[in-house]
Structure 1
Amino acid sequence: APSSSITPSSSTTAITSKKKSLVFLGSPQVSATVLDALFNASAAPSSSFEVTAIVTQPPSRRDRGRKVMPSPVAQYALDRGFPSDLIFTPERAGEETFLSNLRALQPELCITAAYGNILPTKFLNIPPLGTVNIHPSLLPLYRGAAPVQRALQDGVKETGVSLAFTVRALDAGPVIACERVEVDDQIKAPDLLALLFSEGVPIMLFDDWSKLLICKLPSIFDGSAKVNAEPQDDSKVTLAPKARISPEESWLSFDEEALILHNKVRAFAGWPGTRAKVLVIDDESSNNHNILELKIITTRVGSNDKIRDNDVHDIAFIKDALVFPCGGRTDLEVLEVQLPGKKVTSAAAFWNGLR
């Protein structure tokens, strides 16, 4: 009999060579890192699973040309030769046509990584082994859509990535595994997000990563991960809402201390960015002045040992930085800026352009 056939027996367990069906959900570029690892792992001779479908955000207008383009995950899958008819792009994950197509595939497990849509109960009921999410925080800390941004804004010294079962409540499911990561005081949100998702992959796929984590995917497939997963401590929950990150929140107020502003620049790097208005006086003896709107790209907290001859409210250029006086007698050193419609430039180049 073929190896995939089942022979009834009262004394033996039926064995099938059929690989388990896994559906991946993700949208941005960082999610493609996880998908790449899943593709590579599923291609191994010893693999027990295969990626049978991909769910991602619909095509949208991106880049300066405003062309309608597939999500980075969809584009990556197409480039890998994944069948286009198995890449689903529903507006909402609760659409009945989409759910019907998903049920027809009979997935045993779904894995999500920054998919970007709420998963309704009707979706969560489809895979018998559940849905597992890679979340870039140490749950129950920073539940929500902006965990990396809010962690950086708070100035945390440590964060991490969690592998958890998805339940109807936001990021509240039992945790399978987590890995802690030290946070460099200069790292920005896009770089930290990429780092955390790359850390999240070994949690799932490799049996000896930093000698701390065992291979989690087989335990998810055999059901033991669900049995051993740790419920979250709801008394320690903190939230990381994205809804409140708006262009208005991106303005810097120099009444605040430099460390707070530095953390805000790191947290809001990429989107929505951080901005400041600078008054440029051409001639102190006249009223000739301009207000420039700057996007603040890279900063560091001043060492407070700078000697300045100018007024306490003036911006100075010292060594390689524009030095902004801030609250609490602190200084924010700005290393890179961007004028509207222009490329990112160094503080030195910007300063020289004013002369």
Structure 2
Amino acid sequence: MYSPSMLRRFFCFNAAASSSSIAPSSSTTTITSKKKSLVFLGSPQVSATVLDALFNASAAPSSSFEVAAIVTQPPSRRDRGRKVMPSPVAQYALDRGFPSDLIFTPERAGEETFLSNLRALQPELCITAAYGNILPTKFLNIPPLGTVNIHPSLLPLYRGAAPVQRALQDGVKETGVSLAFTVRALDAGPVIARERVEVDDQIKAPDLLALLFSEGSKLLICKLPSIFDGSAKVNAEPQDDSKGLICPFFLVERAKCNLNPNTRASMISPEESWLSFDEEALILHNKVGQEPELNSNNHNILELKIITTRVGSNDKIRDNDVHDIAFIKDALVFPCGGCTDLEVLEVQLPGKKVTSAAAFWNGLRCQKLKTL
């Protein structure tokens, strides 16, 4: 039994193992096996894609490894009911029947209790995929084969916490996913392999993120044999730091941002989430999912999250003020800088579901909208 303080700092889930699962039971994981021991670290839903690939690969008759433990973020309050729920990775592992006592959720990866339990498992290799916690040197020294991270960018481009959002903001036509050894410097370890992905003009950040982690899962399974036999470390490509400089991050009034793709992918700040319609439509199109302020004709300020957009064809007829928002065919037409138009197809009001531009416009009941 864990003490109350232990439960607070080192929470393990209790759930019955599913008889139909391919995941190992607690009894089988304690038996000495010739298979190499692997520990997986991840938290959000995209990480569960990687864990699924590892479970399936480890169950193959020819597999040389087993998933010995899972490390994920502690339970948190989510959804409308604000219930305390395990991370998506933890929930997925439990649903697969993975032993609850081998799902570790330390608040920090440097906690001695957690590190002691990890050492006891004697993992050969650790795999991280959007874990969301800094790994200290004491952790990195535990697995003899090292720690390998799946990062959703073509390293050294877009190092940091928001690589997909930054790539879309910059309007890149190509991005990708990288397998790299983890070192103390941020996303700066030697690269094992990369997979390139074309960026569709209409793709949104969550969809692109899911695609990259799906491709990253396939790349990982393909490269695991070379990681386990040590050849991947020998052949890994050192990153060119001159192309991955962590440059100072800056904000300009009303969230105008000009980041070079070779800089660190800083997290999106609250101030930066607001759109400025002084910018051209193409730039704003690359920032879909962020929030502009609108001014209705009764002087109310309206916060509106833009979900889906396309760049206008510039053949729309504008009436009245250049700040007026019009509805033409199936889209809200926002006047932008450089005499361009941004056509908005889906929006979301605070606390409401995503709705079409037509439904939103009909709900205004003849009120006019202006950009601020």
Q: For this structure pair, what is the TM-score category when the shorter chain's length is used for normalisation?
A: 0.7 to 0.9
CA contact (8 A) 2:54 2:221 kept: no
CA contact (8 A) 1:150 1:240 kept: no
CA contact (8 A) 1:20 1:108 kept: yes
Aligned pair in 2 of structure 1 residues 4, 337: CA closer, same or farther (>3 Å)?
closer
CA contact (8 A) 1:6 1:14 kept: no
How far 1:342 sits from its partner (Å)?
2.1
State which drifts further: 289-298 or 10-19: 10-19
CA contact (8 A) 2:22 2:96 kept: no
CA distance in 2, matches of 1:344, 1:8: 41
CA distance in 2, matches of 1:211, 1:178: 11
How far 1:245 sits from its partner (Å)?
1.5
Aligned pair in 2 of structure 1 residues 229, 333: CA closer, same or farther (>3 Å)?
same
CA contact (8 A) 2:29 2:68 kept: no
Task: Render the CA deviation track for 1:230-268: whole Å, top value 9, x for unaligned.
Answer: 111111999999x65222211111111111111111xxx
Aligned to 1:193, the other structure's residue is in SS state helix
CA contact (8 A) 1:4 1:16 kept: no
Structure 1: 5+ residue stretches without partners: 201-209, 266-282
CA distance in 2, matches of 1:287, 1:16: 73
How far 1:286 sits from its partner (Å)?
13
CA contact (8 A) 2:137 2:184 kept: yes
Aligned pair in 2 of structure 1 residues 89, 237: CA closer, same or farther (>3 Å)?
farther
How far 1:309 sits from its partner (Å)?
3.5
Aligned pair in 2 of structure 1 residues 115, 16: CA closer, same or farther (>3 Å)?
closer
Aligned pair in 2 of structure 1 residues 305, 284: CA closer, same or farther (>3 Å)?
closer
Task: Render the CA deviation track for 1:204-226: whole Å, top value 9, x for unaligned.
Answer: xxxxxx99999310110000000
CA contact (8 A) 2:148 2:180 kept: yes
CA contact (8 A) 2:314 2:341 kept: yes
Aligned pair in 2 of structure 1 residues 240, 47: CA closer, same or farther (>3 Å)?
farther
Aligned pair in 2 of structure 1 residues 19, 5: CA closer, same or farther (>3 Å)?
farther
How far 1:299 sits from its partner (Å)?
1.1
CA contact (8 A) 2:18 2:95 kept: no
How far 1:2 sits from its partner (Å)?
30
RMSD between aligned alpha carbons?
Answer: 6.9
Larger Rg: 1
Aligned pair in 2 of structure 1 residues 323, 161: CA closer, same or farther (>3 Å)?
same
How far 1:310 sits from its partner (Å)?
3.6
Task: Render the CA deviation track for 1:259-291: whole Å, top value 9, x for unaligned.
Answer: 1111111xxxxxxxxxxxxxxxxx999984433
Query: Among the aligned pairs, what percent are the same residue?
Result: 96
CA distance in 2, matches of 1:252, 1:116: 27
CA contact (8 A) 1:300 1:333 kept: yes
CA distance in 2, matches of 1:112, 1:129: 14
CA distance in 2, matches of 1:319, 1:9: 58
Aligned pair in 2 of structure 1 residues 2, 79: CA closer, same or farther (>3 Å)?
closer
Aligned pair in 2 of structure 1 residues 289, 143: CA closer, same or farther (>3 Å)?
closer
Aligned pair in 2 of structure 1 residues 15, 293: CA closer, same or farther (>3 Å)?
closer
How far 1:76 sits from its partner (Å)?
0.3
CA distance in 1, matches of 2:310, 2:281: 8
CA distance in 2, matches of 1:286, 1:25: 47
How far 1:159 sits from its partner (Å)?
0.2
CA contact (8 A) 2:176 2:196 kept: yes
